[in-house]
Amino acid sequence: MVVGREFDECENGLDERKPLLQWDQQQKLSDSDPRLRISAKANCFERKRRRKGLKEYYENQDRLLECYRQDEARLQADSFDADKQLKAQAEQFGRKQRMDRLLAQLVFLLNIVLLFANLAAAIMSGSYAIISAFIDNTMDLTSSAIVQLTVWAIKHTNMFNYPRGRERLEIVAVVVCSTIMGVTNIMMIIQSIQAILSNDVHPEATLITILLLFGGILSKLSLLIVCCMHNTNGARLLAMDLRNDVATSVVALGGAYLGDKFWPYADPIGAILVCSFIAISWFANVFSTIPLIVGRRAEQEQTARICRIAIAHDERIKFLDHVMVYHLGERALVELHVVLDETLTLKVTHDLCEALERKIRTLDFVDRVFLHVDYQLDGDR
């Protein structure tokens, strides 16, 4: 990837590649904007499809330009200090880890209490839907224990034996938890189908059973809101788990009640619905998480922000010979090759590139930066 300093300008009219957002104001894209006009030769559905695509494109461009403006304002501020910025990021990461530990402990304690409550409800009712909620709660304890163990390992692992990559253990924990939860719920689906085929369905939804499930729903819903507000990788894992628990308990309660009062088969069908939802959710989480540990490229917007910072950093940077931004964890690694004049001294080259590396590392989505200096444009050969 080669990027130079020259950019084409549009001489007359609107340049369709230019973002709509101006530097001094942010305006919402209107359907009447001339950029969204589609040729009358296209039919109604085609015009609608093209208009939707154009609108998404220009909104993305607007958002990217706003990121450019924020990056430039932050990096050019009189109070900007890369070392202080990196230290602040490290402190913020530490606070997030402490909050992750607290949330994991709260969820773990709540799951212990609800484990016995759901066990009592399952024994009293004999409901397959409530049994599925009990199994889900048992797996919640497993996932909570894994999250706590992961957070502890990240904090206490010997940094000399594992100097880099300890934070990626959290991604591995997500994959492990998701796989266990998905497989367990598939087994419960099979059990419910066997109960329907054997006509062995006799649920009993008593008042105590209903109160136990309803209390669990309210408590987990409260923790779900807290986890969503925290919004770290570990908190998102806990939030997904809590969301599934709430859905499980609601459907289990409804299935058990309908199975007892109206139609017995509503109970195992409710269990199948609950387990299917949970299994699909966790397997989808696995498929979305695995790319983060096998080198998936970062978002185009993030790469563009890095390129702009590098180009605007110093006029002595002639080209960007190679730019690669990819994930081997939650945050991205950056490989950047810059081309400088071969007559520059080692001191000048070092100071210039070290300052650029520090700037890029202050971006919240960047973990590490590998910066290489060259004197000719060779395409990273």
From 269, 293, 317, give the residue that closes a domain.
293
**Looking at residues 223-228, what average pLDDT do you find?**
85
Tokens found for residue 108: 């773990």
Whether 379 maps to a domain, the answer reads no
Q: So what's the pLDDT on residue 365?
A: 87
**In terms of domains, do 66 and 45 share one?**
yes
pLDDT > 70? residue 19: no
**Looking at residues 30-52, what average pLDDT do you find?**
65
Whether 21 maps to a domain, the answer reads no
Question: How many structural domains does the chain have?
Answer: 3
Q: Which domain CATH number covers 362?
A: 3.30.70.1350
**In terms of domains, do 320 and 176 share one?**
no
The residue with greater pLDDT, 331 or 20, is 331
Q: Which domain CATH number covers 169?
A: 1.20.1510.10
**In terms of domains, do 345 and 197 share one?**
no
**In terms of domains, do 150 and 227 share one?**
yes
**In terms of domains, do 129 and 272 share one?**
yes
CA distance 111 to 117: 10
- Residues with Cβ within 8 Å of 288's Cβ and at least 6 positions away in sequence, in order, are none
Whether 83 maps to a domain, the answer reads no
Which strand (E) or helix (H) includes residue 173? helix 169-198
Tokens found for residue 263: 């139609």
Whether 307 maps to a domain, the answer reads yes
**In terms of domains, do 71 and 108 share one?**
no
From 276, 293, 310, give the residue that closes a domain.
293
**In terms of domains, do 103 and 125 share one?**
yes
**In terms of domains, do 368 and 284 share one?**
no
**In terms of domains, do 319 and 237 share one?**
no
From 260, 293, 326, give the residue that closes a domain.
293
Q: So what's the pLDDT on residue 243?
A: 83
**In terms of domains, do 156 and 180 share one?**
yes
Range of the domain at 335: 300-374
Instruction: Give the CA distances from residue 311 to residues 82, 246, 323, 379, in Å, rounded to whole numbers and listed in that order.
Output: 18, 49, 12, 17
Whether 218 maps to a domain, the answer reads yes
**In terms of domains, do 190 and 319 share one?**
no
**In terms of domains, do 112 and 242 share one?**
yes
CA distance 38 to 50: 7
CA distance 359 to 27: 29
Q: So what's the pLDDT on residue 86?
A: 60
Least-confidence region, from 25-29, 112-116, 156-160, 350-354: 25-29
Whether 113 maps to a domain, the answer reads yes
CA distance 219 to 336: 48
Whether 358 maps to a domain, the answer reads yes
Q: So what's the pLDDT on residue 82?
A: 58
pLDDT > 80? residue 84: no
Whether 189 maps to a domain, the answer reads yes
Q: So what's the pLDDT on residue 334?
A: 94
Q: So what's the pLDDT on residue 21?
A: 39
The mean of the pLDDT values for the chain is: 78
Residue with tokens 């409530």: 130
